[in-house]
Amino acid sequence: MGNPTHYFDTAGIAAAVAAGAHRAAIGGLWEEVGRLQLDFLVSRGLRPDQKFLDIGCGSLRAGVKLVRYLDAGNYYGTDINESLLMAGYDIEIRNEGLLDKLPRAQLVTDGEFDFSWCQAPFDVVLAQSVFTHLPLNHLRVCLERLQDAAAPGARFYVTIFEIADDHPTHRPCSHPGGITSYGARDPYHYRFVDMVHCCRGLPWRATRIGAWNHPRSQHMIEFVREP
Ligand SMILES: C[S@@+](CC[C@H](N)C(=O)[O-])C[C@H]1O[C@@H](n2cnc3c(N)ncnc32)[C@H](O)[C@@H]1O
C-alpha cells in the first residue's frame, strides 16, 4: 500500500482486502481514527435521529461507530472501492452485531460523487481523508452534486492537508505526524482560500475549523448548505 494514488487501483485494493488487509488499506489506526471521527461529529451536535452520509467511507472505520450511535437506517456510506464496502459490512458490521441497523443497500459504490440515489436529504456529511488523495476539482464536483442531496443548513465536514497562504503550492509541506503533502500529487495540500473558491456560485459556505487532534495533522473544514 506504499503508492498513495492506489485508491483508483480497485483491483489492487480488492487483492489487499482478500488478503485480510481491509483495515490497513484505509490507513490503519482503526480505533483511534474511528473514535476521533465519532467524537468530533458528536461534539459538533450530530444526533442519532439525523441522516448521515460518509463519503469515501472505506471499510467503515468510522462507520461501525456511527452505525452504533445513529438510529437504525440513518447511516449511508459511499466509496469507489466496492471491496472495502464489502469487508466493512461482512466483517466489521457483522462482528459488531450491527447488521440490523445498516441496510446493505445504504453502502453505495461510487467514485464520482453521484448522489442521485438519495431519496431524503442528509443533515450531516463527512469526507475524512478523502480529498487529501484527490485533485481539487473533485471537491468542486462533490459540492456541486451534493447540494441537491443536502438539507438546508446541512453541514459537510471535509479534512485536508492545509498549507499557509504564503506557502507556495508547488513546494512540498511536512506536517506534524510525518506526512509530506504536495501541490500536484497525492497526498495533496490546499489552502483555506481554495475551499472558499470551490464554493463560488454554489449554496455552500466554508468555515475553517483547523486542528481537531488528527494524528497525521489533517485539518477540518466545515461547509454549511445555505437555504
Ligand atoms: C484514507 S481512506 C479513508 C476512509 C474513511 N473515510 C476513514 O476515515 O476511515 C480514503 C477512502 O477514500 C476512498 N476514495 C478515494 N477516492 C474516492 C472517490 N473519488 N469517491 C469515493 N471514495 C473515494 C478510498 O477508496 C478510501 O476508502
pLDDT at 166: 96
Q: Looking at ligand 1, which atom is closest to the CA of residue 84?
A: 27
pLDDT at 5: 58
C-alpha 54 to ligand 1 mean position (Å) = 9
pLDDT > 60? residue 1: no
pLDDT > 70? residue 30: yes
Q: What is the pLDDT of residues 131-178, one digit of tens each?
A: 999 999 999 999 999 999 999 999 999 999 999 999 999 999 999 999
Kindly state if the Cβ of 125 falls inside 6 Å of ligand 1: no
Pocket residue to mutate for ligand 1, from 35, 115, 130, 134, most atoms within 8 A of Cβ: 130
Q: What is the pLDDT of residues 75-128, one digit of tens each?
A: 999 999 999 999 999 999 999 999 999 999 999 999 999 999 999 999 999 999
Tell me which residue has its CA closest to atom 20 in ligand 1. 111
Closest CA to 186 of 138, 117, 122: 138
27, with CB counted inside 10 A (0-12, 13-18, 19+), is: middle
pLDDT > 60? residue 203: yes
Antiparallel, parallel or unpaired: β 52-55 and 75-79: parallel
Q: How confident is the model at residue 25 (pLDDT cuts 50, 70, 90)?
A: very high
Cell of 55: 463519503
C-alpha 224 to ligand 1 mean position (Å) = 21
Domains, the chain, with CATH or none: 6-225 (3.40.50.150)
